[in-house]
Amino acid sequence: MGAIYPIMSLLLVVLFGLIITRIAAAILVFTGVSKDLARFQARSAFTNCGFTSVESEQVINHPVRRRVILGLMLCGNAGIVSTMASVLSIVNRTAENPVIEFVYALFIVALGLLLLWLVSRSPMIDSAIMTATGWALKRFTKLDVVDYQGLLRLSEGYTVIEFGITPEHWLCGKNLIELRLGDEGIQVLGIHRASGDFVGAPTGATYIRRGDRVLIYGRSAQIEELEHRDKGQTGDQSHEKWCEEHTRKVQQELAKSRRSPRNGETSAPSAAAPEKPDTAPATTA
């Protein structure tokens, strides 16, 4: 079939785009961008679709991210031209028997794209790209490589988000001691004031005011509920519910840790050697 070479060229262009965007997304993750946002920014830049103003500011204000996005834009332009050339070549090669050969070409292209899509979604491939990118950055650049995704356990049910505070929000007009967010298992990492100032690692005496944007870390379900929590009895009840839930989880984790082996001890003590309390030092035979 005469169109096989243009088809292979098209699939190689798509493969190249997938690899480039994954590597770029990994670099963005190592600069502190969440994985979902990094992939969105990388794909947007590669396809020249653009993204919202808030995300643009996050890229523009960081020199490494600016370079990554610029490189993606250049590669994306080349990829678009190559894709169009491959598609036109496929159409021209099927001119002798247009119906049969064109349908066959579409089938091969669809099958190839499906295989590439399945491979690109593989956690193993994603982990390999993250590992290789991190090693390359440490080896060949001076970038301070930190895997925030792994450090904050963002793939294990935790998340970091930023949202605005309205006068009706449950957080508005209170300090962190009054809010007791730690009792819910939620941490306030920072506050962007309406004036433009940033309060990093706020203390208990720090107030949250109207117009602020708070940077919150915690479990995804709790963060989503907190983002839309309003003042009043309903908000207070939600707070108490999550406090009880967090206390229950902490107690379960403590009970589990006490049952698990420690320092080479067996999980079940023998009759001759009763288990020592946690406060007493372990004895050796």
Report the SS3 class of residue 189.
Answer: strand
What distance in Å separates the CA atoms of residue 269 and residue 249, rounded to the nearest whole number? 26
Amino acid letter for position 94: T
DSSP 266: -
Q: Which among 74, 93, 115 has a CA at the least distance from the CA of 6? A: 93
Query: How many CB atoms are located within 10 Å of the residue 103 CB?
Result: 11
More confident residue, 214 or 9: 214
Tokens found for residue 212: 């602020």
Confidence of residue 188 (pLDDT cuts 50, 70, 90): very high
Percent of the chain past pLDDT 90, that is, above it, reads 20
- The pTM (predicted TM-score) of the whole model is 0.54
Least confident of 23-27, 174-178, 180-184: 23-27
What is the model's pLDDT at position 69? 81
Per-residue pLDDT at 281 exceeds 50:
no
Higher-confidence position of 134 and 23: 23
- Residue 136: Cβ-neighbour burial (10 angstroms; 0-12, 13-18, 19+): middle
Q: How far apart (Å, rounded) are the C-alpha atoms in residues 210 and 229?
A: 14
Tokens read off for 54? 């808030």
Q: For residue 79, which of 160, 5, 18 has the smallest C-alpha distance?
A: 18
Q: Who's near 137: CB < 8 A, 6+ residues apart?
A: 27, 30, 143, 145
* Contact (CB, 8 A) for 187 and 152: no
Contact 78/48 with Cβ under 8 angstroms? no
pLDDT tens by residue, 46-80: 887 765 556 666 666 677 778 888 888 888 877 77
- Tens of pLDDT, residues 102-159: 777 788 888 888 888 888 888 888 888 888 888 888 887 776 666 565 566 665 677 8
Which DSSP letter does residue 15 get?
A: H
pLDDT grade, residue 278 (50/70/90)? very low
Place of tokens 């005469």: 2
Q: 214 pairs with which residues across the strands? A: 163, 191
Question: What is 158-258's CATH number, 3.90.480.10, 3.30.70.1450, 3.30.1330.30, 3.40.1190.20?
Answer: 3.30.70.1450
